[in-house]
């Protein structure tokens, strides 16, 4: 039985005030913490072998937002990353390109030229990433800056302080404003679940972002521990599934931060398949924000193809 807190034709009119949002978000069915953790743990033990593993590895590669978000980033590093994004394994053209590269707004320009003519999108973090502590004016300028440089996807952060103090209307308006500023660009809303304290809050933040027009809800900035966890992915994917039932609009989920091994990535694929359904097994509905993960996926793929365990010396360092 899928809970449908928003039965009937979808209308944004009902969620314009703090009070209405509070009523809606606090009316969502509570998340069973023990159940979500047990479910995530059980799904993570599922064994994926042979053809299914090969499929999962290549799907995970195609879902990656290859990310570099360091203060020490340079145009050179971004160029190298773009080359890797287009063709992850130079020795094997069968490996699909990743979904996108994810950089700071000032490096969008550096990335865009290297990805021309490729299916790889350029995503930019914006709105005073990672803290989100700036005025709305600055946040919107940040977004426009990234879009002007050519970004096709925007990863915004929500104001966790406002969310945790119950100022849902403010968070909603911020996401709405960025949604409008972003235009046709894909909008991913970073909830920073590591700062939200409870799964109920994660679910509320996800609904809030989805109501406000997010194309993706994303777990973390990668700057806060814990980053993406499997139970949080269960909660987000369940919320995305319920939102589809309630509104008819599919929202994707992006897990990011701390995902370094193929095994973990495949666990997220299993969770997506079992929680939200097969439709989420696509780069249009599930993304993985990562950098070192790509090499592990390539190594595991090589293991599947050659039968021997591969070594990291055989792949480019990133």
Partner 1 sequence: MSEPTGRAEVRRTCKLFVGGAFPRSESGRSYVVSAADGTPLANAALASRKDARDAVVAARGALFGWAGATAYNRGQVLYRVAEMLEGRRAQLAAEVGLAEGLRPAAARRAVDASVDRLVWYAGWADKVAQVLGASNPVAGPYFNFSVPEPTGVVVVLAPQKSSLLGLVSVLAPVVVTGNTAVVVASEDRPVPAVSFAEALATGDVPAGVVNVLTGRTAELAPVLAGHMDVDGIDITGAPYRAREELERLAAANLKRVLALDDVPETQPTLRRTRAFVEIKTVWHPVGT
Closest CA to 91 of 263, 314, 266, 318: 314
Q: Which of the residues 275 through 304 are near partner 1 (CB under 8 A)?
A: 302
Q: Does 313 bind partner 1 (CB under 8 A)?
A: yes
Q: Does 263 bind partner 1 (CB under 8 A)?
A: no
Distance CA 297, CA 64 (A): 10
Which of the stretches 59-67, 83-91, 151-159, 307-315 binds partner 1 when contact is defined by CB under 8 A? 307-315
Q: Does 45 bind partner 1 (CB under 8 A)?
A: no
Compute the least distance from the CB of residue 298 to partner 1, in Å: 12
Size of the site for partner 1 (CB under 8 A): 9
When binding is defined by CB under 8 A, the residue of 8, 71, 76, 307 that contacts partner 1 is 307
Triad 72, 130, 225: Cα angle to 5°: 95
Which of the stretches 136-144, 145-153, 220-228, 310-318 binds partner 1 when contact is defined by CB under 8 A? 310-318
Distance CA 228, CA 5 (A): 26
Q: Does 135 bind partner 1 (CB under 8 A)?
A: no
Q: Does 13 bind partner 1 (CB under 8 A)?
A: no
Q: Of 84, 139, 188, 254, which is the active-site residue? A: 254
Q: Of 84, 139, 188, 218, which is the active-site residue? A: 218
When binding is defined by CB under 8 A, the residue of 131, 304, 310, 316 that contacts partner 1 is 310
Compute the least distance from the CB of residue 307 to partner 1, in Å: 7
Of 50 and 137, which has the nearer Cβ to partner 1? 50
Q: Catalytic annotation on 218?
A: yes
Of 4 and 292, which has the nearer Cβ to partner 1? 292
Q: Does 245 bind partner 1 (CB under 8 A)?
A: no
Q: Catalytic annotation on 13?
A: no
Compute the least distance from the CB of residue 155 to partner 1, in Å: 31
Q: Does 311 bind partner 1 (CB under 8 A)?
A: yes
Q: Catalytic annotation on 155?
A: yes
Compute the least distance from the CB of residue 303 to partner 1, in Å: 9
- Residues marked active site are found at 155, 218, 254
Q: Which residues of this chain interact with partner 1, rule CB under 8 A?
A: 302, 307-314
């Amino acid at each position: 039985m899928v809970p449908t807190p928003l039965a009937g034709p979808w209308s944004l009119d009902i969620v314009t005030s703090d009070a209405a949002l509070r009523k809606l978000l606090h009316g969502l069915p509570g998340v069973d913490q023990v159940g979500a953790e047990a479910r995530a743990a059980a799904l993570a033990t599922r064994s994926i072998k042979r053809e299914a593993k090969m499929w999962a590895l290549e799907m995970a590669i195609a879902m990656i937002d290859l990310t570099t978000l360091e203060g020490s980033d340079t145009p050179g590093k971004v160029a190298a990353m773009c080359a890797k994004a287009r063709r992850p394994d130079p020795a094997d053209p069968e490996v699909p390109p990743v979904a996108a590269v994810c950089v700071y707004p000032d490096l969008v320009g550096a990335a865009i030229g290297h990805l021309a003519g490729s299916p790889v999108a350029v995503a930019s973090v914006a709105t005073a990433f990672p803290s989100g502590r700036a005025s709305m004016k600055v946040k919107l300028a940040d977004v426009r800056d990234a879009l002007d440089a050519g970004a096709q996807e925007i990863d915004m952060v929500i104001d966790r302080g406002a969310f945790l103090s119950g100022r849902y209307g403010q968070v909603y308006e911020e996401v709405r404003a960025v949604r409008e500023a972003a235009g046709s660009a894909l909008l991913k809303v970073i909830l920073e679940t590591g700062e939200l304290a409870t799964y109920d809050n994660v679910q509320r933040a996800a609904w809030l972002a989805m109501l406000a027009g997010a194309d993706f809800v994303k777990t973390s900035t990668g700057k806060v521990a814990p980053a993406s966890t499997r139970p949080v992915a269960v909660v987000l994917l369940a919320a995305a599934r319920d939102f589809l039932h309630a509104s008819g609009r599919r929202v994707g989920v992006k897990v990011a931060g701390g995902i370094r091994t193929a095994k973990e990535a495949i666990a997220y694929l299993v969770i997506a398949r079992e929680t939200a359904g097969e439709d989420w097994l696509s780069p249009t509905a599930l993304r993985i924000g990562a950098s070192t993960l790509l090499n592990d996926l390539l190594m595991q793929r090589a293991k599947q193809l050659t039968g021997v365990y591969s070594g990291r010396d055989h792949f480019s360092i990133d």
